[in-house]
Structures are given as C-alpha cells and as structure tokens.
Structure 1
C-alpha cells in the first residue's frame, strides 16, 4: 500500500498520508509520495488545486525519528521539495491542508507549506523539536510567526508546547474549524469554492499574495500588473465576461 495515496475529484488532487501505524510520520516513502503527487498536480492542466490530509486519527507526527536515529534523515527530504517533499517546493497551484488530529513538528511545517487550512477540533499544532534537542528546521521557526502573533510563535518555539485547533483558528492559522472526522469533507467544499473560479486568475492571485504581502508597494503594484496581464491574456478571460453577460456559470478551461 502506498505511503501517500493519490486520487482526484473533479479538478482537485487529493494526497493522503497513509502510515497510521507510525502516526503518519514522514519517512522517505512519504516524502517521495508527496513530491510525486505535487508533480502530478502541477503537470496536469485538468487539475487546478490540491488537498493534503492524513489517515486519522493523526494528520502527521512529523519526521520519523526512527529513520533519523538510523542515519536515514536525508531521505525525509527531496531535492525539489525539501522536507516531506513540500516545505521548499516551488509550485503554482493552491493546496489546502485538511487536518484531523495532531499536526506536530514536521506535521505543522507541512501545514505551514499549504495555502489554506481546514482543521477539526481534534487538531493540534506545534513545533516541539526543542524537547528532543532539535530545531524546527523545515520552515516552522520563520513561517509560524507569519501566520500567528509573534509572541505566540515564540512561545511555541521555546516551550515546544502545542496549541489547540480552537486557539489556532482564533489566531487565523486555521481558515475553517469543523467537527472531528469532517476536515477532508470541509476542505473539499472549500476547494469547490476555489474551483468555481478561473484557474489562471487563481494562480496569478496566489502568486501576488505570497510575494507581495510583506514587500513594498512598488513590488506589489508590479506583481499585480503582471498578474492582471496574465489573467486577461488567458483563454478563460473572454469566457468569464461572456458568462457574466449571459447570466450563466462560466465553463473554465484552465488556459
């Protein structure tokens, strides 16, 4: 059985970490599976966004410490994607994290690599590496403070203690908080709201938000202009206007 299961639903790719016996910890198979899944998402013009989840009751417990202890730590990263095949990945299409249960250490860093987060009330988030004489080296130490208040991120980094899904939702790390067992279902509904929009415009908008939010206005204007130029030069641009005038849902091609 694959360590990462891959399936599609409409224009959405769904990647599921499938190592429940190891709390969905990242080993080499998981890292390669996530990278390969993102490759398929990026390369398939009929796929517009993705969802990543884990077989409950845990989203992902982070790095497989048995692999690290055995000297196989390098296998937990890929050349293109970094840790878990995702934390350093350069990509164009949105990915939603659907979190049912704990997402700790590298699991939180996988979540922080995604664009949106849907979590059930059983979820927890944290970077407990200091408890094992490690540091959160896959982006957690600088990405967490971009998502939640600085002092709370510092608290997480120095104590290693997790925060609840409710607290994470209050800070804005989690977009939607749902009942246990329904995170994937809710994430797919959120994906449907994105899927209803023009794919080229979605990708261009994502790029501007990521690259310009913490940049100067000059950079923001430049990226926004480039994003607009990309959107209006797409095949879907005319379809969006025509559908509006004809009062019907648009039929996007993604081109």
Structure 2
C-alpha cells in the first residue's frame, strides 16, 4: 500500500489516514487505490468491526488533486469510484473524523461514511463550481438525501462553505468536538459499535441505507430477509443469554 494512505488496526477498529498533509490530503490515484484496498480488507476481515477515515496534519481532505487531474490522472478505482469509496462504501460501519477542511471530494468522502465526527473548527463544502467542475462523487446525489434539498442546492451552486456547527444543526454530522480530538472521539464511537453483535450491526446498516428507496407499503417485507439473518443467528441467542446471565456477550459473527 502507498505511503499516501496509512492503515492500522487495533481492538477490532481500522483507522485509515490520508497522508498527504503537504497537499492538504488531496486525493490522487495512489490515495484512491489505498483507500479501496483498506475498504476491501475491512469487509473481508471478520476481526475488524468498524473503521475510521481521517486526514493527517490537521486537514481531512481538500478533494481531488487538481495538479494530478490536469496531468491526466484520475483518482478513481473501477467499481468503487472516486477515492476508491464514493460508489461502493463498505458493508461495515465507517466513521469520518474531520479536522480542518472537508471540501469537494473530501466532503464527498465524509458524506459517504455512516457517521461523522468533526472538530468545532472544521468547514465543509462542495466548491467544484468555482473551478468549473461539478460534485460528481456524491455531493449532488447524496447530500440532498442527508440535509434539506434547498440547502444542498445552495451548497452545490454557490460553492460556499458551512461550519461544523451549521452542519450539526442540519443533522449532517453526529458529534462536534474540540479541535485535535476528533480521532479520539471517533474511536470511542467505533468502540461502542464494535461491542455490538456484528451481524446485527451489518444488517441494521443495510436496512437504514436501502430503505430510503423503499415505498411505505413494501418496507416491512423488504427488511424481513435482513432481520431473518439476525434473528436466526447464534449471536442472537448469545446476546439473550448474556443479558440473562448479566455478562458481556461473546460474539461469533454467526
């Protein structure tokens, strides 16, 4: 894996760090490939229960590396899209830990994640239009599903930024924490997730994501196959036993 992406795993939690601080962690081809490889490992490794993506040097990600783009390099992985993640996020929970700027493709990486923890000094935006480009890595399609449509429209066509507090008020991010503590806060959140039944967590994520496109009349029927997987698992029995016996459950992921 490229030095542009650093990956570590501890206590069932993967941390993926975009490591190009001199370029404000702009995404080039190497970063895209590195993130894609990390996401593949996340979903394939049963010992990993959740992941965090962050940026080195006090900035989350400034978006696509425009210098690389001008030279003809595209930070896209076939089948996974921009940054190796925009079109195919992992099945397991992913948390963005945002310090500084999450702009353009960086913002799109963040909103691809399931949860966002942001520093109180963080800023978000999709300023692609200011460079004659468009937020095609999810900004134009994911953002209107996560915040009010008119606010998403304003961000898309003005290219202006919003603060972490404004993003929190809009329901776009989960936690606002002091600058410099986002990774610590995201890790605490990941540990809470990792303590839960992995089959139940995965199924819950799938239903929450996919049900956005379900009609009300089909909702319960469409979610049933996911629930069958959960309730027929040995983990479901283990969870009930552990509760009755007043002990921590020992999950097997089966």
Q: Same fold, TM exceeding 0.5?
A: yes
Give yes or no for contact 2:95–2:115 (8 Å, CA) kept in 1.
yes
TM-score, normalising length: structure 1: 0.96
Asked if 1:150 corresponds to 2:149, the answer is: yes
Asked if 1:48 corresponds to 2:49, the answer is: yes
Distance 1:90 1:160 in 2: 25
Deviates more, 1:32-41 or 1:223-232: 223-232
- Give the equivalent residue in structure 2 for 1:16: 17
Asked if 1:194 corresponds to 2:208, the answer is: no
Distance 2:23 2:126 in 1: 18
Asked if 1:126 corresponds to 2:125, the answer is: yes
3-state secondary structure, aligned to 2:16: strand
> Aligned-pair distance for 1:170?
0.5
- Give the equivalent residue in structure 2 for 1:60: 61
Distance 2:219 2:182 in 1: 33
Q: Which runs of 5+ in 2 are unaligned?
A: none
Distance 2:89 2:9 in 1: 21
Give yes or no for contact 1:41–1:49 (8 Å, CA) kept in 2.
yes
Distance 1:149 1:138 in 2: 19
Give yes or no for contact 2:42–2:90 (8 Å, CA) kept in 1.
no
> Aligned-pair distance for 1:232?
1.7
> Aligned-pair distance for 1:145?
1.2
Give yes or no for contact 1:120–1:183 (8 Å, CA) kept in 2.
yes
3-state secondary structure, aligned to 1:7: strand
> Aligned-pair distance for 1:97?
0.5
> Aligned-pair distance for 1:182?
0.5
Asked if 1:240 corresponds to 2:239, the answer is: yes
- Give the equivalent residue in structure 1 for 2:177: 178
- Give the equivalent residue in structure 1 for 2:38: 37
> Aligned-pair distance for 1:48?
1.2
Offset from partner CA, 1:200-255 (integer Å, 9 cap, x none) = 00000110000113421233212321121001222211110110110111111222
- Give the equivalent residue in structure 2 for 1:219: 218
Offset from partner CA, 1:110-159 (integer Å, 9 cap, x none) = 01111000000121110000000101111101111111111111110111
Give yes or no for contact 2:61–2:105 (8 Å, CA) kept in 1.
yes
- Give the equivalent residue in structure 2 for 1:253: 252
User: Do the aligned partners of residues 55 and 135 (structure 1) sit closer, same or farther apart at CA in structure 2, a change above 3 Å counting?
Assistant: same
